[in-house]
Amino acid sequence: MGELLRKLESIDRRWIYLVIFAAVVIPFLMNLKLPVGKHSPSTTAVHDYIEQLPPGSVIQMSFDYSPASMPELEPMAKAVVRHAFEENHRILAMTLHPQGALMIRRALDEVATDLNKEYGVDYVDVGFKPGGVAVILGMGRDIIRVFEDMDARGEKLSAMPMMRDVADYDDIALMIDFAANSLPLAWIGYAHERYGLQIAAGVTAVMATDLYPYWKSEQLVGLINGLKGAAEYEELVGAPGFGVLGMSSQSIAHLLIILFIIMGNIGYFVTRRASQNRT
Amino acid sequence: MMRPVMTGFVALLLSALCCLTAAQGRFPAPTEVRMADDGEDDEGSKAIVTWQAPSVAEIDGYMLGGYEVHLQQLGGLYLGRMAFSTTRPAKEWELVALLPDVEATEIQLGDVVPWRRYLARVTAVYAPAGEALQASEDDPLKLANRDVGRSAAAMSAAPVSPAGKTYNRKRTNVLVWVLGYSAIVLLTIYLARRREIYIRPIAGLEAVNDAIGRATEMGRPILYIAGLSGIGDIATIAAMLILGHLAKRTAAYETPLLVPCQDPIVMTVQREIVREAYLEAGKPQNYEPENIFFVTDSQFGYVAAVDGIMMREKPAANFYMGYFYAEALILAETGSASGAIQIAGTDADTQLPFFITACDYTLMGEELYAASAYLSRNPLLVAQLKGQDIGKIVIIAMLLLGAAAATLGAHYVDWEFVKSFVEWFEVQR
Amino acid sequence: MIVQFFVPHAVGTQGYELLLQWARIVGAFALVLGIGSLFRTHWDKIRRRRPQYGYSAVTLLSFGLMVWAGIVYGTGEGGLGQRLTEMQNGTAFEWLFDNVQVPLDATMFSLLAFFIASAAYRTFRARNVEATLLLVTAVIVMLGRVPIGEMIYEKMPEVYEWIMQYPAVAGKRGILFGVALGSIATSLRIILGIERSHLGG
């Protein structure tokens, strides 16, 4: 028995990988949807801010992520897009990440088609623009000029009905950055601090600690934190999807990791006691 | 034969011009056109044009439908009223706004160049009664209506030069902090010439020599990763400074140093640093530029490649210095599985826990910046650490004072100086 | 950058933007050096038949394939590629992106889940008071982020929020102060020429 308990301290990592793999995959195959639970105040803050905007407001969304972080960020992006469209707001989609252009199409076009939204009237996709901070600053003066009067499909921006109401940040009611990098900090530092643009962020869970201080200091109106934030938002808009489904896998995986930690500690204490007894 | 034709043509042109003038004269023009610098605009790129509507809104079956605003950039460069260059030529009149709105009497123009002088002119546009003026779908500056009447253009009286502001007074507090702290650092560097400064041992840097020794004994290379940020990031620069010191030692021991890069500019600078280090160590013949190579700028593509190098080449020591993102743990865990001794250093606080769990030694936050000073033991560089410590003490003092003042001001007293003290810490737009 | 922070005038911002544009141009040219390095390294491995040179061949072939798809077929709808191939899911480049790049990137990122599990198992031992505190906090945060945590203890999400908003932010700010002071000092010593090793000195 003692030997068995001691072995708990040094389980081969490949067994851990196998168990985690099963914990992630099985809930997906079973389509297991556990309740999401209480909603975080930071997620609700984004939702409430969009609710209180007058219909027809223009919400800018920057899809600054790549395929790698897509599973965590796309569910929240889709939920926010759905919410904005349902509230009859208009969306200006863009990205500062080279691989973000295809992320926009995946997250935006599907929901827009689903809700019968018209391109150019209800939403515009200006695609990827290299330059990072230079783009953020330039948009504060003239959005159309920054994108050289051309959207991601090669059409003229100035000819689109929606863009007639959008000159600079003064015409944007809220900007939401979906990102797995430090770009939300650039948006806060340049667009919010310099031009007073209201900013919310939807980020991977590992990035969230970076942004909590900015939410506390009201430089962010809200923060959607990882897959849990996505699941909460999906519930808030009444469209449970991949976020809610993913949370079941995450729940079980977290429990298993805790279980492994406990097993490791049992092994550690048994080994320590044995060595103390020997001495 | 040519002469009568020419005369006829000129007569025709003149009569057409007369008709046009008469047509323009028929429609009343707006009055009191004024142009002014937008006082609230700090950038100096906005101007406001105002006017009064014509006295008569309907004439000969035509109704006032809106306005066209033209702008002309005059020659010269002006700071206020003072000209500091007169050589720049003037430009043609340019249509800058079409307002199909009868009520409009003001427009903010957001695309003017600061320090150039401008004149504005406003034309009233009339459409047949019952027809609204409309901008064309293709071009918001073109009218969709075919039959319109225009008044004569009313011009602003004096040229205006948008000035903007050259200094944001609201940020004086930040400037004071930056200058104050820089002065402290410079002062400590100056004082360092006079006496030696103690620097506490940093375990991660003490272990650098052990790592090199281990690699030399095992006859395996050392792997150095300078983060996934660009050359503009101070963490990358700090990582390159450390690479310089490390390369000098590996050159002395003739231990191969592998540096896979994610940014081609960083790669170029790193090659230069390592080449120089080998030269300084007296082993220029051992320098191999191919060991410092570009992999890809894709985050996870890079991670896959570096993980592959770790598992195939089995480096004896892995160094992760600089700014890292989500790849930190993937790199460090693979390195740990390959059995290498691992030293990390980053100011990416979200990745610190991962490095601490998977690496043997981790330099946290500012220790990354201190590393170069620590490794070189250059008194001037070490002195800078003293300056940092003084800066920290000042910040701690200000935090305590600020927290006390904010608590006092919010709950207990109503003193103006307490409020101003708290407000002084706010960074305003 | 520091100038445009204190100078709200368009000249400051535009000057900064101009510098950023230059940086982009330099970066684009530097990419040529990077690609040159990639080619030399792998070509050399193949030519000299170094161990596992097959991987280098795969790298160069994949690189060539992606470049060919990008240049010939482009990324936009109605491009030359679509006219030539009439593929339903857009161009060949998009197809490669969706079916090669996306799964490969996601695979690498998902390794994190496995590595976090094994690293947590190896490291979180209640060796002393500090380590125990770390362990307990980690368990609360993990439980607070998932619905099961709330089932175990109703107030778990609130405890998690409290940890994230106060102790975590406090620690983070402490590190940030050090980082900010360190980066100003490092910049100063580079600007003043006290530190020259990054220039090979």
Helix axes C102-123, B299-313, angle to 10 degrees: 60
Asked if B364 reaches chain C (Cβ–Cβ under 8 Å), the answer is: yes
**Residue A133 and residue C17: Cα distance in Å, rounded?**
8
**Residue C74 and residue B134: Cα distance in Å, rounded?**
38
Q: Which fold has domain B27-155?
A: Immunoglobulin-like (2.60.40)
Q: Which residue of B has its CA nearest to A191?
A: B429
A131 Cβ partners below 8 Å, 6+ apart?
Answer: A96, A138, C20, C21, C24
Considering CB atoms only, which of A194, A209, A253 is closest to C113?
A: A253
CB B390 within 8 A of CB B373: no
Kindly state whether residues A132 and A103 are assigned to the same domain: yes
Mean of all residue pLDDT scores within chain C: 82
Overall number of domains in chain A: 2
Question: What are the tokens at C48?
Answer: 């000299």
**Residue A56 and residue A71: Cα distance in Å, rounded?**
30
Binary contact (A131, C113; C-beta < 8 A): no
Contacts of B265 in chain C (CB under 8 A): 26-27, 30
Nearest to A133 by CA among A204, A211, A193, A67: A193
Q: B interface mutation test: which of A99, A144, A166, A206 has the most B CBs within 10 A?
A: A206
Q: What region, left, alpha or beta, does residue C76 occupy, with left being phi > 0 and alpha being psi -120 to 50 degrees? A: beta
Kindly state whether residues A21 and A60 are assigned to the same domain: no
Kindly state whether residues A68 and A108 are assigned to the same domain: yes
Q: Which residue of A has its CA nearest to B113?
A: A141
> What dotted CATH number matches B197-377?
3.40.50
CB B100 within 8 A of CB B132: yes
C82: confidence class by pLDDT, cuts 50, 70, 90: very low
The pLDDT value recorded for residue A79 is 96
C83: confidence class by pLDDT, cuts 50, 70, 90: very low
The pLDDT value recorded for residue C200 is 47
Binary contact (C148, A255; C-beta < 8 A): yes
CB C91 within 8 A of CB C80: no
Secondary structure letter of residue B349 according to DSSP: T
**Residue B365 and residue B345: Cα distance in Å, rounded?**
7
CB C189 within 8 A of CB B370: no
Kindly state whether residues A264 and A179 are assigned to the same domain: no
Helix axes A41-52, A226-236, angle to 10 degrees: 40
The pLDDT value recorded for residue B22 is 43
pLDDT > 90? residue A125 = yes
Distance from CA of B141 to the nearest CA of C (A): 25
Nearest to B47 by CA among B95, B141, B124, B114: B114
**Residues C143-176: pLDDT tens digits?**
988 888 888 888 898 898 899 888 988 888 888 8
Contacts of A36 in chain C (CB under 8 A): 147
Give the residue-averaged pLDDT of A28-50: 89
Mean of all residue pLDDT scores within chain B: 86
Kindly state whether residues A136 and A272 are assigned to the same domain: no
Q: What are phi and psi of A109, to 5 degrees?
A: -60, -40
> Angle CA(B212)–CA(B213)–CA(B218) in degrees, nearest 5?
100
Asked if A136 reaches chain C (Cβ–Cβ under 8 Å), the answer is: no
The pLDDT value recorded for residue C84 is 43
CB B60 within 8 A of CB B128: no
Binary contact (A250, C145; C-beta < 8 A): yes
Binary contact (C183, B392; C-beta < 8 A): no
Kindly state whether residues A49 and A26 are assigned to the same domain: no
Kindly state whether residues A106 and A82 are assigned to the same domain: yes
Kindly state whether residues A13 and A55 are assigned to the same domain: no
Kindly state whether residues A158 and A57 are assigned to the same domain: yes
Regions of chain B with pLDDT less than 70: 1-25, 80-81, 84, 429
**Residue C109 and residue A74: Cα distance in Å, rounded?**
15
- So where are chain B's domains? 27-155, 197-377
Asked if B138 reaches chain A (Cβ–Cβ under 8 Å), the answer is: yes
Binary contact (B370, C182; C-beta < 8 A): yes
**Residue B141 and residue A149: Cα distance in Å, rounded?**
14
The pLDDT value recorded for residue B214 is 92
The pLDDT value recorded for residue B17 is 46
**Chains in contact with C via at least 3 Cβ–Cβ pairs below 8 Å:** A, B
**Residue C165 and residue A34: Cα distance in Å, rounded?**
26
C84 Cβ partners below 8 Å, 6+ apart?
Answer: C73
Which range (A238-242, B319-323, C192-196) has the least confidence?
Answer: C192-196
Kindly state whether residues A49 and A119 are assigned to the same domain: yes
Q: Name the helix (H) or strand (E) containing B175.
A: helix B172-192
A171: confidence class by pLDDT, cuts 50, 70, 90: very high
The pLDDT value recorded for residue B272 is 92
Contacts of A69 in chain B (CB under 8 A): 326
Give the residue-averaged pLDDT of A79-96: 95
pLDDT > 50? residue A190 = yes
C86: confidence class by pLDDT, cuts 50, 70, 90: very low
- Three-state secondary structure of chain A: CHHHHHHHHHCCHHHHHHHHHHHHHHHHHHCCCCCCCCCCHHHHHHHHHHHHCCCCCEEEEEEECCHHHHHHHHHHHHHHHHHHHHCCCEEEEEECCCCHHHHHHHHHHHHHHHCCCCECCCEEEEEECCCCHHHHHHHCCCHHHHCCCECCCCCECCCCCHHHHCCCHHHCCEEEEEECCCHHHHHHHHHHHHHCCCEEEEECHHHHHHHHHHHHCCCCCEEEEHHHHHHHHHHHCCCCCHHHHHHHHHHHHHHHHHHHHHHHHHHHHHHHHHHHHHC
Domain span at residue A142 reads 41-239
Mean of all residue pLDDT scores within chain A: 90
C183 Cβ partners below 8 Å, 6+ apart?
Answer: B234, B235, B347, B369
Give the residue-averaged pLDDT of A127-142: 86
Place of tokens 């073109």: B142
Q: What region, left, alpha or beta, does residue A11 occupy, with left being phi > 0 and alpha being psi -120 to 50 degrees? A: beta
CATH number, domain containing residue A144: 3.40.50
Asked if B45 reaches chain A (Cβ–Cβ under 8 Å), the answer is: yes
Kindly state whether residues A104 and A190 are assigned to the same domain: yes
The pLDDT value recorded for residue B80 is 64
**Residues A202-237: pLDDT tens digits?**
999 888 888 888 888 889 999 999 999 999 999 999
- Residue A270's CB: how many other CB atoms inside 10 A? 19
Q: Name the helix (H) or strand (E) containing C23.
A: helix C10-47
Tell me the one-letter amino acid at A97.
H
The pLDDT value recorded for residue B1 is 43
**Residue A23 and residue A250: Cα distance in Å, rounded?**
8
